[in-house]
Each structure stands twice: as structure tokens, then as C-alpha cells.
Chains A and B, each alone.
Chain A
């Protein structure tokens, strides 16, 4: 118990440290593979768009007494084209056809009602014209662009433009992965899915903002010292907020899981489930990207600044000169102000855990 809990403390002090920033090539490579698969799936498989986007009619018959085949026969005879008929766990049969006129859909609903032994009024009907979907998509895209613009401005003012860029890169990463998973699994994309995607925007950024806020705090006076490079300070911030990131992600995912369980168990496919699946995928990707993508990418951008480059040179020179004595030491009340914790990131990762357990275990 205390081992798990104590980790928060050790992470904070830099006694245990994961080298997120230093190993960015590894994370980039992992993400690149996932992104390539996602984009490939999108290009070659496309998305299974719901009727709201391509137009069509959708009939949901709860407590139906008819079989899927019977419903299909009736629907195809009526429309003269292929119908998709599915059956959900709770006995609801769902019939999807091409777009119908209001009158045609009413007639088909009546026939399905007779066939499946339910009152016509009990059938949930949705008919969407073929042009409406593009309208919804266009609006969603507009909203996305406006939001990205505004949020870039906000992040640039609150943090700096490099952080805005890094946050948006992480965001794009999450969106592409989520869309890719929809493409790979063939899950239906409905307006609820779009809502889910748009929520991920806010959520992924929430995570990133929390981490960046700590990075900003840790690097406030970074140019005035020569103990830590920007990358190391950023990595320390990541480690210090790691428990927080994990907790916030778990807590955000719990209600979404509740929706998935209830949605799948009680309702079959529907708004709740569509939304929750998109959210779950996006939140998981968001948690990953705020740690493995956003901050390493930010560090990479920052290290290009002349001031940060000379800082890195100074730190390297100092370490070469000062030897190993000071490295890895913990000086929590040290005079560096914001750099109370000094850590040699590279060493810590490889050696520190063993050392820590040796010195701390006797107690517990």
C-alpha cells in the first residue's frame, strides 16, 4: 500500500523519475505508428457514417416479435434497395434504409409495426434528408476551427505560442486517433459521436493545461540558473503532475464507463453509447498525449530558442566540470527558488529506483 502511495512523494522529489521528455523519439515513433494506422484506416476503410450524415431512414422497434430476416424482407420490398437490419441485446430491432420521404417512412413504419406486433406509435423513427448531414458536418467543422483559433489565442496569451502549438499538436493527435479507431472498428459515426469528439477538444486541453501550468511554474526563472535544462525541468514537472494526470484521467473515465455499461446493457446503440465510446477513446488518447506528446514536443520547441540552447550548454559544462557529486542530490530547501529539486534525469531513470527502495524500505 505505502509503496503505491509513496510513489507520489518520490515522483515529486525526483527520486523516481520517468524520462518522458528525453525519450521522446520512442513516444513519437509509437504515436507515428498509431497515427499512420489511423490515417490508413481512414483512407482505405473510411467511416461508417450514420444516417444523420448520409441521409436515410432509421426505425427502432422495441420489444419486436419479428425476426431480423422478416424485417429486412419487408423493408427491402418497400424501398427496393438494401436495408441494414440489426438486433440489439434488449430485443430492439433496428432497420436502416435509404432516405425516404415522410409519407414513405410513415407507410413503412406501419408495415413494420404490423409485422412485429407493436403499435406504430411505439416505433422510433428518424428520417434525414441527404443534404442535412453535410450541413451538420459543415457546422461542426466551423465550430472546430473557431474553437481552435480562440483556444490558440488564449493559450498564447496565458502561456506562450510554443505551448499553444504543442497543445494543438497533442489535440490533433487525439482527434486523429479517435477517428482512426472509429474507422478501424466500423463503429457508426453519429452526431453524438461528433459531440464526443468536440468534448475531447476541451478535455484533452484540460489535461494539457494542467501539465503546462506546472511546466510554466517550474521554468519561470530557468534562464537564471545552470542546474537544469529546460527539458529536464519540463520532465520534472511531468513527473510531479503524473499522479494528478492519472487520477484526473481515471476519474473522468469512470462516468464515461458507466455510460458505456448502461448504454450497452439497457439501450443498445444510441446517443449515450455513441457519445461515450468516442469520449472513452479520446480521453485515453488525451491522457497519453498530454504526457508523452505535448510536453516532449514543447521541450523540443523550447530547446531551439537561443536562450535555452545556451542554458543546455551551461548545464552540460557545469556537469562535466562539477563531476557527479552533486548530481542526483536532493536539496529541497535549496536556494534556487523554483528549482528546489535537482535531478539528473538520465541517471535517475536507470539507477534511482533501486537506490530509493534500499533507503526507504526499512521503514515499511
Chain B
């Protein structure tokens, strides 16, 4: 770790070049996202922070419950079909918070979406269908004879439109069947669910991977009738994982009745109707559709299905927590319109540019040639920051919020501070009588220590803030931490090497007043040893006054 007396400036510059080229390639790789993801306060949208509360007072929220809740909310939010909608958690246990961000959406929709309790029900399967939509009228189907229902029957001449919303009707009418047939289960909007179904009605919906389409009878058991669900291996230890279910008395009776009826029916398959399976429906989509092998009378059922441990656990969780495992309290709802978001972004960018320009002007006036090095360093630091924003946007899902923008602006000053520490050190070294060449090196060795210590404190603050805080503070802390690291990187690989390089030029060593290191500024021994020509007079007179002992 001992610093070399003469550094090799080219190394640092090459290292920086490699990093820059790498980042540019990574950030702008064709076919990937090449822009910075903006937070809701900058692009408009709604963010809801939810605090989960245990259903029974005094209980603790387990990680499992939290994950389950997030999974259910995510399923519903995905159902909105909005790209970049996000559900994240912060913290754990009873201090946890769930943050739902939906760009572009209005407050009412999002709040309604997340606050609702999930609906779980069990329905007998009427028919299995292929997932693609088809027009029943196109096939030689039975004539849609005048049905007495209130709604008009579909006119055969109307153009066929595949649907994506689940289909509900009071009975299994021909019209209902037609709509179910038209349901497009290959469309993600149709199979991600999120719309609760009315258990009293017939339901046409999709399996949650979109592979099968179902026409289902009204529910025979509701989620609230399930008292327990566990995943485990069968008692004899043979076979794959199973899910065991327990029901309350109402559920047990309904199960006994339904299983007696259904188990007598033929196995399900395309075109078989009705058949012996029942569907477990969560938030409008089919999670699983097991078959009744025999009547179940004891209120305890076992679902077998060649499950892996993971699948069995997931299903058990769905059954157990069909209704959300926790109650959710929306504690912070923020809704920003795209116009306002745009304004904020613009103001942030303008403030950033203004800040950058002000700092550059100051550095140029005060440090002259060194100031130019500082200005280029700042531009490079800003460029790396921008590239890293893009890279983190696509890798770890960083979103840039207004607080983050503020962090980046504040970082301009902190980054420039490092250069000042270094430049002042160089001046100190020259005052101590060192040549410019030596001063650039030895000044760096000393400045480096100060810089690392000071940046370490900044980084510490950023990391602690990031780990322990919520909401906008986190975004700010992340950006601050990131820019601190960039600051160190630029100072080590760019500012120092460049200063060393220009410190080797004759012009700098002459100590012109445009170097920022001339005798007037630095005084005393300023480069005196190497001074030639015009500047000598000034330098030597400077030296003379210096040596006059104070009376």
C-alpha cells in the first residue's frame, strides 16, 4: 500500500477509460433499457405505503406472511397491466412496510386495488377449454334459440372480439358459454387475475399460467371456510409432496356434499362436461384444479398432484392466506400527476446544471489551469453518475426520485471539495519548498489520506441512512453513497494522474499566473528553483521578501 514516489499517471487514466467504455457499453447495449428509471414524483403516478398489521392483535408478522401478502398484491398490481409497477418491502416483522408504486395510475384505483382482501373460493369444474379464444358462432353450434334472459343474445353478424376480463353470469347460458369461449387466456391481462369473482355466479376464467381455460360453477366452499392448510410428505412417506386441508363444519359439510357428487363424474378433459375436478380460485384466476377421487366426509382433504416441495408450500399458503394474512393500513398515499412530475424533473435538472456551472466558474476563477482539471473531473464524475443510474436502473431496479436528484446536486459540491483538498495540498507542498513535480506527488499522498477519511465518513452516513430509513430518504442515501464512491474513483484515476501529467509540462513549471500555482497565489518558494526568464524577477523578489527576518 505504500505510495510510489513517482506515480504512473497513464495507468489511472487507462483504468478510467476502461471503466468508462465498459459503462457506456453496459448502459447503452442495444436491446436493453437505456434510460434512467424515474420515480413516481418525477413521472407521475401513485405510491401507497402500507403497514401490515397482524389479524390477531399482539401477534407478530412472519416473513412468510409478508412475502405472501406482497405476492398477492403484486398479482393484483400486475393485473393493471402497467409496466414498471412495483411492490417492495422495507423492514421486517411488525415494523415492515409495503410500498406499492404504480406509474401513471390514479389514487383511487391503486388504493382500491391494494386494500381489498383477496378472495378465495372452491368451484366445481364444468368444462376445460383450450386457452386461445374462439368464436362459438363460427362453428356449427346449436342455434342460439331465443333465450328468455334479460340480456340480448349476441348477434351472429357482430365481429368477434376476444375478451380479457373474466366472465361471470348467473347461469350457464349459451351466451355465457360464448363469452367464455371468447376469453383470451393467452393474454397476460386475462390470467394474472386481480379482479375478485362473485362466488354466487358462474365463472369463466384462466389458469394462472394461462395454459388452460375453465368454465366453473358457482362456489361450493369459500376461503373463509378453510381453517388450515399444510404442505408435507404423505404419511407413508411414498410419493411426492401433498397439501392437507382442514375445514370448519360448514366447509366440511359442503365438501362432503360436493365431493360425493363430483367424484362420481368422469375425469376432466377437453369436451367432458361436467367432470370430477374442482378449481381453487384466488382473486379471479385458477390456482389449482385437483380431482376428487372419492367422497370426503371428515372435513379433512389432501390434494395430491406430483407437487415439488416449493409448489406444495405455495399452494398451502394460498389456501391458508387466501384472504390476506394481514390487514393493511395505507399510511401514506402520494399521487403526482405526470405534468407536475415533469415540472419537478425539469426543475431538478435546471438546478443541477446551475449548481454545476456555478461550481465550475468558481473553480476556474480560483484555480485557473488546475480549475480546468477540476471542471473536466466534475464532468466525468457527472457522466459516470448518469451511466451508473442507467446501469442500476436495469440491473437492480433503481428508480431516481426527486430526493435522489437532490442528492446528486449536493454531491457536486462534495466532489469538488476533494479537488480543493488536493489542490490546496499541492500549494502547501510548494510552500514547503518542493518543486511542482514533487508537490503533485507528495501533495497527493497527503491529500489522499484526508480525502479517504472524509469520504469514508460520507459513505458511512449514506450506508446507515440507506439501511435504516424508509421512503425518500433511502433514494437520497443511495445516490449520495454512489456519488461518494465515484468521487474517490475520479480523484484517484483522473484528477491526480492529470495533475501529475500537466505538472510535468514546461508551461506549468514556469509558474504562469494562469496555472493557478503562480507565486502570487502560492508565494514563497513557488517553483522558484525552476523558474526562468520573466517570472524569475517576481519569484526572486518574492524570495527576498520572504527571507527578510521580521524585526
Contacts and interface: CB of A to CB of B under 8 A. Distances in A.
A360 B433 CA distance: 19
Nearest to B481: A202
A157 B108 CA distance: 54
B412 to A, nearest CB: 5
B256 interface: no
Nearest to A199: B410
A251 B471 CA distance: 29
Interface in B89-108: 95, 97, 106-108
B542 to A, nearest CB: 7
A336 B402 CA distance: 53
A251 B375 CA distance: 12
A206 B454 contact: yes
Given A62-B339, A244-B421, A251-B362, A106 B107 contact: yes
A140 B111 CA distance: 27
A70 interface: no
Contacts of B431: 9, 12-13, 332
A2 interface: yes
B480 interface: yes
Contacts of B454: 205-206, 209-210, 213
Nearest to B108: A106
B464 interface: yes
Given A9-B521, A247-B424, A262-B347, A271 B472 contact: yes
Contacts of B358: 254-255, 257-258
Given A206-B458, A262-B347, A253 B472 contact: no
A143 interface: yes
Nearest to B462: A202
B453 A251 contact: no
A259 B351 contact: yes
Interface residues of A, number: 96
A132 interface: yes
Contacts of B410: 199, 252, 255-256, 279
A142 interface: yes
A270 interface: yes
A47 B308 CA distance: 57
Interface string B145-157: 0000000000000
Interface stretch (B18-26, B295-303, B324-332, B491-499): B324-332
B340 interface: yes
A151 to B, nearest CB: 6
B192 interface: no
Contacts of B525: 332
B201 interface: no
Given A150-B464, A217-B446, A210 B421 contact: yes
A67 to B, nearest CB: 21
Interface residues of B, number: 96
Interface stretch (B169-177, B224-232, B543-551): B543-551
B470 A136 contact: yes
Contacts of B335: 123-126
Contact of B541 (A150, A158, A244, A363): A363
Given A139-B470, A195-B403, A205 B457 contact: yes
B354 A261 contact: yes
A127 B332 contact: yes
B503 interface: no
A195 B406 CA distance: 10
Contact of A13 (B107, B407, B524): B524
A203 B458 CA distance: 7
Interface string B73-99: 000000000000000000000010100
A217 B449 CA distance: 11
B356 A252 contact: no
Contacts of B476: 195, 199, 275
A6 B520 contact: yes
Given A202-B457, A254-B413, A329-B549, A102 B111 contact: yes
Interface string A120-132: 1111111111011
Nearest to B422: A244
A192 B432 contact: no
Contacts of B351: 255, 258-259, 261-263, 272
B427 A8 contact: yes
Query: Which of A13, A129, A328 is most buried by chain B, counting CB atoms within 10 A of its CB?
Result: A129
Contact of B359 (A124, A143, A254): A254
A355 B460 CA distance: 46
Given A124-B337, A126-B335, A275 B403 contact: yes
B61 interface: no
A106 B405 CA distance: 29
Interface in A236-294: 240-241, 243-244, 247-248, 250-259, 261-263, 266-267, 270-272, 275-276, 279
Contacts of B501: none
A112 interface: no
B52 to A, nearest CB: 13
A50 to B, nearest CB: 12
Nearest to A242: B424
Contacts of B477: 198
Contacts of B469: 139-140, 143
B471 A263 contact: no
B464 A60 contact: no
Contacts of B108: 102, 106
A154 B464 contact: no
A272 B95 CA distance: 28
B344 A270 contact: yes
Contacts of B106: 120-121
B473 A195 contact: yes
B83 to A, nearest CB: 19
A258 B409 CA distance: 9
A265 to B, nearest CB: 9
B1 interface: no
A296 interface: no
Nearest to B335: A125
Nearest to A146: B464
B347 A195 contact: no
Query: Which of A158, A194, A209, A217 is most buried by chain B, counting CB atoms within 10 A of its CB?
Result: A209
Interface in B333-349: 333-337, 339-340, 343-344, 346-348
A135 interface: yes
A298 B445 CA distance: 25
A60 B44 CA distance: 13
A243 B334 contact: no
A164 B462 CA distance: 19
A201 interface: yes
Given A8-B521, A210-B450, A251-B417, 17 more contacts: A2-B520, A105-B333, A123-B337, A124-B340, A125-B333, A132-B332, A154-B456, A191-B472, A192-B403, A202-B461, A209-B450, A251-B362, A251-B420, A256-B409, A258-B351, A275-B406, A355-B550
24 contacts: A1-B520, A6-B520, A8-B523, A102-B111, A106-B107, A121-B106, A125-B107, A125-B334, A126-B335, A128-B333, A131-B51, A199-B407, A213-B454, A247-B366, A251-B363, A251-B416, A252-B417, A255-B355, A259-B355, A263-B351, A266-B346, A271-B402, A276-B406, A330-B550
6 nearest A-B pairs in the assembled complex, by CB-CB distance: A9-B523, A255-B355, A252-B413, A132-B331, A258-B355, A202-B461
Interface of A: 1-2, 5-6, 8-10, 12-13, 52, 60, 62, 102, 105-106, 109, 120-129, 131-132, 135-136, 139-140, 142-143, 146-147, 150-151, 154-155, 158, 191-192, 194-195, 198-199, 201-203, 205-206, 209-210, 213-214, 217, 240-241, 243-244, 247-248, 250-259, 261-263, 266-267, 270-272, 275-276, 279, 328-330, 332-333, 340, 355, 359-360, 362-364
